[in-house]
Amino acid sequence: MKAVRVLTRLAFVRRQAPLLASRGAHDHAHDHHESHNPGPPVTYDYIPVPFQKYQTVYGELQSKFNMYLMISSALLVLSFGIAIADDVFILEAIRPPKSYRERKSH
C-alpha cells in the first residue's frame, strides 16, 4: 500500500515539474506585466469615417433617446404608484397619529 502511495506521489511530482520550471522563468524581481506581443500599432485607420450629416444623425438619435427617457419616466411613476398603492413604504406608520375623533371604529 505504501509503495502505491509513493508511486502516485512521484507521478504527481513528475507531472508538475514542467509547470514549476516555467513559473520560475519569469522575472519576479521587477514585476513586469506588460504584454510580450502588443500587436499592430493603433492608427487613425481604425476610427470610423462619418458618412452622414451631423444634424440628421443627431436628430435620429435624440428622438430615440427622448423616447427612452419618456418610457423610463412613465415606468418609474407607474412603479411608485403601484408601490404606494400596495403600501410598500408603510406611509401610515410614518405619519403622526390621527386624533381620536378622526379614527374609524371597526
| pLDDT tens digits, one per residue of 21-42 | 555 555 555 556 666 777 777 7
Is residue 60 one of the residues assigned to a domain? yes
Contact between 83 and 89 (Cβ < 8 Å): yes
Query: Is there a domain that residue 1 lies in?
Result: no
Q: State which amino acid sits at residue 35.
A: S
Asked if residue 6 has pLDDT above 80, the reply is: no
**pLDDT score of 22:** 57
pTM above 0.85, yes or no: no
Q: pLDDT tens digits, residue range 39-61?
A: 777 788 888 888 999 999 999 99
The reply to whether 90 falls in a domain is: yes
Higher pLDDT among residues 6 and 72, named by residue: 72
Name residue, grid cell 470610423: 48
C-alpha cell at 39: 500587436
Rounded to the nearest angstrom, the gap between the alpha carbon of residue 40 and the centroid of all alpha carbons in its chain is 29
The answer to whether residue 31 sits within a structural domain is no
Tell me how far apart the alpha carbons of residues 41 and 45 are, in angstroms, rounded to a whole number: 10
| Number of structural domains found in the chain | 1
> CA–CA separation, 50 vs 65, rounded Å?
20
Whether residue 68 contacts residue 62, with contact meaning beta carbons closer than 8 Å, is answered with no
Determine the structural domain holding residue 54 and report its residue range: 49-99
